[in-house]
Amino acid sequence: MRFILIFVLILLFPLFISAQQVHVITIDGSINPASAEFIQRSIKKAEKENAAALVIRLNTPGGLLKSTRIIVGAILDAGVPVIVYVAPSGAHSGSAGVFITLAAHIAAMAPGTNIGAAHPVVMQGSMDTIMNEKATNDAAAFIRTISEKRKRNVEWAEEAVRKSVSITASDALENNVIDIIAINLNDLLQKIDGKSVELVSGNAVLRTGRREVKEMEMGFVEKLLNILSDPNIAYILMLLGFYGVLFELYNPGTILPGIIGVISLVLAFYSLHTLPVNYAGLALILFGIILFILEVKIVSHGVLGIGGTVSLLIGSLMLIRNDANIDVVRISRLVIIASTVATALFFFFIIGYGLKAQRAKPVTGFKAIVDEQAETLDSLDPRGTVRFQGEIWQAESIAGPIGAGSRVRVTGIKDLLLFVEPFRNST
C-alpha cells in the first residue's frame, strides 16, 4: 500500500509543481492573428498545467478587430485567472489593447504607461459617414459589454471608443479602469495575491505571492506569422514575388529569380489571408503590372506605363480594407509611394533597356558583318578580294562586275567568303 501511495504521488508531482507556477507571456506589437493564436494557446496551456494565473505583459498600439474579438473571447472564457499587465514604463495599451486590458480578470499597469484611444479608424482613404458611425457603434457596444462583465468604468470605456480619450496609469486606477498599479512583475504578483476573481467555473482566489514564474514565448510558426502579419512586409513580398516570376519569364533558365519570386508570393499570400484584403485593390495591382509589361512590348509613348503607375498606386492604397480594424493595420504611405516609383523605374528603364538591347543589332559574330562597308582591292567578276575592317577577305559580287577601289556593302557570309554588292548611299 505504501508503494502504491508513493507511485501516485510521483505521478501527481508535476501537477503540484505546475500549480505553483505563474505563466507569463509578452505581447509587444500589433494585435494580429499570430498574437491571438499565441494568447489562446497560452491560456489552454495554463489551464492544462493548472497554473496559478496567466500574466499577459502588454504593449500594443492596436490591431485587427477580428483578432481582438478572438482574444477577448478567450480571456472571458478562460478557466484560469488572466492578468493583463501594461508594462514596462513607457508602454501603451492603445485601441485593441484597451479591449484586451478591460477583459482581464485583473487589469494592471506600470507607472509611466497609458491606456486609451480605441476609436475605429480607417487604414487607407476615408470612411463615409454611415460606415464610420456603424463601426464606432459596434466597437462601443463591444467595449460596454466587456466593461459591464468586469464591473469597470463603462462611461470611460465608451469615451475611449467614441472620443479617443487616453489616460495615465494613475488616472486609470482612480477612474476604475484598472485594478492595480505595479512597479514590476514581482510587485504585481504580491499585490494580487489573495484577490478573488470570477471564472466561468466560479470564484477563485489568486495565490501568486511566492509562485514560480514561467516565461513562455511564441513558437517558430507564430513568430513567422507575426512578422508576416505586418502589411508592409506582405506588400513588399508580393511585389518581389511578381518581379522574380516576371524576370524568370523574361530570362528562362536563370532559375534563382523564379525560386525567390515563388517563395515570396507564397509568403505574401499566406500573410494577406490573415489581413482584411480588398481584392479590388489586388486586381488593380495585377492590372498595373500587366500594363508595365505591355509598355515594354508595345510602343504606346508612355501611356501604358502611366496607366500602370496609376493602377499600382490606387490598388496599393485600396489593398487593405478600411472597415475591419481598430487601428494600426495599414500599409505605410511611404512604402507605397517608394514601391510604386521603384516599380515604374524598373519597368521603364531596366527592363525597357534590356529588351532594346536584345532587339539591337549584334556587334560580334557573323551577324555583325551584314550591312557593313568594305573596299574592293581588285575587280570582282564575280570573285576577288576586299579590305574589310582592316583585313583582306575573299569576296563574291552578287550584282555583276565591280571595279577595283569601289565601296561595297556586305550582304552575307558563307565559309569565310563575303557576298557583296555595290554600296548605294541612301541619301
**What domains can be seen in the chain, in order of their start residue?**
19-221 (3.90.226.10), 230-359 (no CATH), 366-422 (2.40.50.140)
| Span of 89-93, 129-133, 176-180, 281-285 with lowest mean pLDDT | 129-133
What is the rounded CA–CA span in Å between residue 413 and residue 367?
A: 9
Report, as an integer, the average pLDDT of 242-255: 78
| Separation of CA 199 from chain center | 37
Residue 74 has pLDDT above 90, yes or no: yes
Name the nearest CA neighbour of 189 among 214, 217, 211.
211
User: What is the pLDDT at residue 354?
Assistant: 59
Report, as an integer, the average pLDDT of 192-217: 89
Name the nearest CA neighbour of 387 among 368, 374, 378.
374
User: What is the pLDDT at residue 2?
Assistant: 60
Residue 298 has pLDDT above 80, yes or no: no
β pairing state of 53-59 and 82-86: parallel
Number of continuous H segments (helices) and E segments (strands) in the chain: 15, 16
User: What is the pLDDT at residue 123?
Assistant: 43
Report, as an integer, the average pLDDT of 222-235: 83
CA-derived radius of gyration, the chain: 36
Name the nearest CA neighbour of 223 among 92, 38, 31.
38
In the structure, what pLDDT confidence band is assigned to residue 125 with cuts at 50, 70 and 90?
A: very low
Cβ count within 10 A of residue 233: 16
pLDDT in tens, 156-179: 999 988 888 999 999 999 999 999
Report, as an integer, the average pLDDT of 394-411: 88
In the structure, what pLDDT confidence band is assigned to residue 6 with cuts at 50, 70 and 90?
A: low
State which of 30-34, 90-94, 124-128, 283-287 shows the largest mean pLDDT: 90-94
Name the nearest CA neighbour of 175 among 119, 120, 114.
114
pTM (two decimals) = 0.68
Report, as an integer, the average pLDDT of 375-383: 88
Phi, psi of 230 (to 5 degrees): -70, 115
What is the rounded CA–CA span in Å between residue 291 and residue 264?
A: 22
What is the rounded CA–CA span in Å between residue 350 and residue 347?
A: 6
Helix, strand, coil share (%) of the chain residues, nearest 5: 50, 20, 30
Locate 81 and state its grid cell.
485567472
- The per-residue pLDDT of the chain, averaged, comes to 82
User: What is the pLDDT at residue 1?
Assistant: 56
Higher-scoring residue by pLDDT: 253, 18: 253
